[in-house]
Amino acid sequence: MVLDAINFCFWPDDELEYEDLAKGLKAAMLDDRHCLSASSLEHMTGTRLRGLLGWPRPLPLESERTRLLNEVGRELRIAFGGRAANLVQAAEGYACRLVKLLTAHFPGFRDQAVYGGRQVFLYKRAQILCGDLWGAFGGQGYGKFYDIESLTMFPDYRVPVVLKEMGLLVYSEELSGHIAARREIAAGSEWEVEIRAASVMAVEQLRLAIFKGIRDIKEKEKTFLAPVQLDWWLWGAGEAVRATAPPHHRTLSIFY
């Protein structure tokens, strides 16, 4: 939960990546299993967070990362007996219910925007927590979800680049030029919401096309392919070529 609370906006630091957070938190937990207790999170500071991660300089949006960890620690203490495990158990094996609990209790997970006068709910980090639990526990125990396929892909920076390279997303010349020039796109702007929402739809269409391509009915019945699995594959493909891939869109956001 801590990892997914601060899993956003790496690009202002050319060297910081997701694995730096994951490895840093794992090392910190192996050194002190209480370092991420609700009480510790509630009083987390930027300096202490950097120490836990072993990161030598201020993190991008560091004050936001510590604020969100303070929020997680406080609400876990107040509503869930100080244990993230209680939060997961309260979902009773339903990923959608866990997403609802996260967004109800932790404002930092409320990844939503207004587009064309309508609310759009993307919930990237709330959903990725469900996916991480499902993957880490092999679909059992804390990772057992009866509805894992109901989650969408996790709309971020890296996957849209891969989808565009595959021809599944098409950008206007103006948007392509803006991204190529590494100019920032405002959070909540039409461009930003469109990129992320279109990514969700593109992955769903890809999933449906894969099923359509399976001709044997029995094989279709046996095939399980959740959007989270496609997301992992697409994200991994993007990570593998990130040094040479076209630039991703740049938005300062706490949500991805």
pLDDT band at 223 (very low <50, low <70, confident <90, very high): confident
Per-residue pLDDT band for 220 (boundaries 50, 70, 90) equals low
- Residues with catalytic annotation? 156
What pLDDT score does 213 carry?
A: 84
Where do the structural domains in the chain lie, given as residue ranges? 1-90, 94-256
pLDDT of res. 226: 93
By percentage, how much of the chain surpasses pLDDT 90?
A: 93
Q: Cβ distance 11 to 60 under 8 Å? A: yes
pLDDT interval class at 44 (50, 70, 90): very high
Does 62 have pLDDT greater than 80?
A: yes
pLDDT for residue 212 is more than 90: no
pLDDT band at residue 211, thresholds of 50, 70 and 90?
A: confident
pLDDT tens digits, 146-198: 999 999 999 999 999 999 999 999 999 999 999 999 999 999 999 999 999 99
Confidence of residue 240 (pLDDT cuts 50, 70, 90): very high
Whether 218 shows a pLDDT value over 80: the answer reads no
What pLDDT, in 10s, does the model give residues 105-153?
999 999 999 999 999 999 999 999 999 999 999 999 999 999 999 999 9
- Under a CB-based contact definition with an 8 Å cutoff, are residues 22 and 42 in contact? no
The pLDDT assigned to 224 comes to: 82
Looking at residue 10, its pLDDT comes to 95
46 φ, ψ to 5°?
-60, -45
| Digit-coded pLDDT (tens) for 15-38 | 999 999 999 999 999 999 999 999
